[in-house]
Amino acid sequence: MNQEVIIVRGNHTLKGDVRVSGAKNSALKLMAASILGQGETILHNVPLISDIELMSEVLARLGATVVREGHTLRINTADVDSCETPYELVSKMRASISVLGPLIGRFGEARVAMPGGCQIGARKIDMHLVGLEALGVAFDVDHGVLAATTPNGLRGTHVYLEFPSVGATENMLMAAVTAEGHTAIENAACEPEIEDLANMLNAMGARVAGAGTSLIEIEGVPLSTLHPCEHTTVGDRIEAGTFLAGGALTGGPLTVHGIDPAFLRMAIMKLRAMGCDVETGDDWITVRREGPLFSVDIQTLPHPGFPTDLQAQFMLLAALADDVSVITENVFENRFMFAAELMRMGADVTLDDHHAIVRGVDHLEGAPVSSTDLRAGAALVLAGIVADGETSVHHLEHIDRGYEDYVGKLASLGADIRRVSADSLR
């Protein structure tokens, strides 16, 4: 357990330039895909965050060697000889189940502990299983471990996903690249991280078309023709959106670099609707605001809709807007835990099932608060930057999962922020 807290003094403006790291949600899957390369894959722009350390551990348990050189990972999967991912790792990070598809693609079998529930809803894996079963995978649950086999090999198929699940699309994609024949995934998730994964798979010799749209088509190739590759992870659109929310909150101007603005079209639209000026270039976005923040209604949806991973950061903006905003969470159940912490800082939020009615207030007050998940933690730190007085944010293990040097980057933008041992507060 991390025993540190972040201390922020409020009433500061975030301005200047910041570079985003590589996308966590991409890098984790690229690491899993390296299993199919059967040799040394080189991944660049990999963020220095704890989820990447956990995925390195998952791969090491399978028999891979993972060497980090700054933001580059060298992953050698030539000697992977185990197909089992234990509960102690899967329970710490649900994304561990993304090794299921590539293990099946390489070995025709896999054993992965069932992930169980998590703090942001039930997060089932039924759609992962439906997609893989259509490819010819048979599943058995054995003492909490999901055992996958392919009695008749993997064969191409046509699947229409019930919901464009990111994880289900990726697992199916990584298994289908070595299936015999043609696979079509309809109603596939369209997230930019899926396109990044498909680009890497194609660089390894796979034949994937349409990734980034709702129809992905895969021509299976023999496993022996897949080879390792060198690939650079796309920028993290959620980290970028988090800093943009900070700029919008405090006025900016704030520029994020290392991000394709097309990944954030909906978030940019909402920032403009809230009264911000937003300018974009090839790989940068600038936000500034001189007038008041306007209230806005937001509903989270699969990409290209508004991302659930920016819901807390934008609820914070709504909390300081001029009128009432309604925020609707359509992707995850129970993702409003952030609201309770924000209310401790003076926000006025009423929850009604998957809607949050946010009445803007004119200021927030610093308070001790706890990160309830990764994005909530990041948003609470931003709340502290704009609140009156001092805020201490606890349970940093959530923030450390997905934000590289969050404190350092915010300090470079002008925040009065430090990370201290919890003991020093007593």
Q: How far is the CB of 25 from ligand UD1 (least distance, A)?
A: 3
**Residue 219, beta-bridge partner list:** 182, 207
Interface pick for ligand UD1 out of 122, 138, 209, 269 (rule CB under 6 A): 122
**Contact positions with ligand UD1 (CB under 6 A) in 317-356:** 331-332
Q: Pairing state of beta strands 284-288 and 158-160?
A: unpaired
Buried b (16+ CB within 10 A) or exposed e, 271-304: beebbbebebeeebbbbbbeeebbbbebbbbbbe
Q: How many chain residues interact with ligand UD1 (CB under 6 A)? A: 21
Does the footprint of ligand UD1 cover residue 408 (CB under 6 A)?
no
Q: Are residues 108 and 98 in contact, defined by beta-carbon separation less than 8 angstroms?
A: no
Q: Which is nearer to ligand UD1, 66 or 168 (by Cβ)?
A: 168
For residues 412 and 15, give the distance between their C-alpha atoms in angstroms, rounded to a whole number: 9
Q: How far is the CB of 101 from ligand UD1 (least distance, A)?
A: 12
3-state secondary structure of 204: coil
Q: Which is nearer to ligand UD1, 12 or 335 (by Cβ)?
A: 335
**Contact positions with ligand UD1 (CB under 6 A) in 157-176:** 163, 165-168
Using alpha carbons only, how large is the chain's radius of gyration in Å? 22
Known binding residue 309? Answer is yes
Known binding residue 373? Answer is no
For residues 5 and 423, give the distance between their C-alpha atoms in angstroms, rounded to a whole number: 9
Q: How far is the CB of 102 from ligand UD1 (least distance, A)?
A: 15
Q: How far is the CB of 161 from ligand UD1 (least distance, A)?
A: 9
Nearest residue to 199 via CA among 190, 187, 208, 186: 208
Q: Encoding tokens for residue 399?
A: 């923030």
Distances (CA, A) of 277 to 16, 47, 281, 284, 341: 15, 29, 14, 14, 29
Interface pick for ligand UD1 out of 5, 31, 62, 125 (rule CB under 6 A): 125
For residues 393 and 378, give the distance between their C-alpha atoms in angstroms, rounded to a whole number: 9
Residue 104: DSSP 8-state: H
Interface pick for ligand UD1 out of 62, 127, 229, 399 (rule CB under 6 A): 127
24-33 and 50-62 are packed helices; what angle lies between their axes, rounded to 10 degrees?
A: 10
Does the footprint of ligand UD1 cover residue 25 (CB under 6 A)?
yes
For residues 270 and 324, give the distance between their C-alpha atoms in angstroms, rounded to a whole number: 15
**Amino acid identity, position 65:** T
- Phi first, then psi, for residue 296 (nearest 5°) are -155, 150
Does the footprint of ligand UD1 cover residue 124 (CB under 6 A)?
yes
Does the footprint of ligand UD1 cover residue 14 (CB under 6 A)?
no
Nearest residue to 313 via CA among 292, 335, 331, 334: 335
Single out the segment in contact with ligand UD1 by CB under 6 A; choices: 34-42, 124-132, 260-268, 311-319: 124-132
Q: Which residue is nearest to ligand UD1 (CB)?
A: 167
- Active-site residues, by number, are 118
Q: How far is the CB of 402 from ligand UD1 (least distance, A)?
A: 8
Q: How far is the CB of 398 from ligand UD1 (least distance, A)?
A: 12
Single out the segment in contact with ligand UD1 by CB under 6 A; choices: 126-134, 270-278, 312-320, 404-412: 126-134
Nearest residue to 172 via CA among 163, 180, 184, 181: 184
Known binding residue 24? Answer is yes
Q: Which is nearer to ligand UD1, 25 or 41 (by Cβ)?
A: 25
For residues 234 and 2, give the distance between their C-alpha atoms in angstroms, rounded to a whole number: 29
Does the footprint of ligand UD1 cover residue 309 (CB under 6 A)?
yes
For residues 282 and 291, give the distance between their C-alpha atoms in angstroms, rounded to a whole number: 27
H or E segment and range at residue 159: strand 158-160
Q: Are residues 164 and 302 in contact, defined by beta-carbon separation less than 8 angstroms?
A: yes
Interface pick for ligand UD1 out of 7, 8, 28, 248 (rule CB under 6 A): 28
**Contact positions with ligand UD1 (CB under 6 A) in 173-192:** 189
Does the footprint of ligand UD1 cover residue 369 (CB under 6 A)?
no
Single out the segment in contact with ligand UD1 by CB under 6 A; choices: 78-86, 117-125, 146-154, 203-211: 117-125
Q: Which is nearer to ligand UD1, 126 or 279 (by Cβ)?
A: 126
Q: Which is nearer to ligand UD1, 154 or 238 (by Cβ)?
A: 238
Does the footprint of ligand UD1 cover residue 85 (CB under 6 A)?
no
**Amino acid identity, position 275:** G
Interface pick for ligand UD1 out of 61, 123, 207, 354 (rule CB under 6 A): 123
Interacting residues toward ligand UD1 by CB under 6 A? 25, 28, 95, 121-128, 163, 165-168, 189, 308-309, 331-332
Q: Which residues are annotated as a binding site?
A: 24-25, 94, 309, 331
Q: Which residues are annotated as a binding site for UDP-N-acetyl-alpha-D-glucosamine?
A: 94, 309, 331
Q: Which residues are annotated as a binding site for phosphoenolpyruvate?
A: 24-25
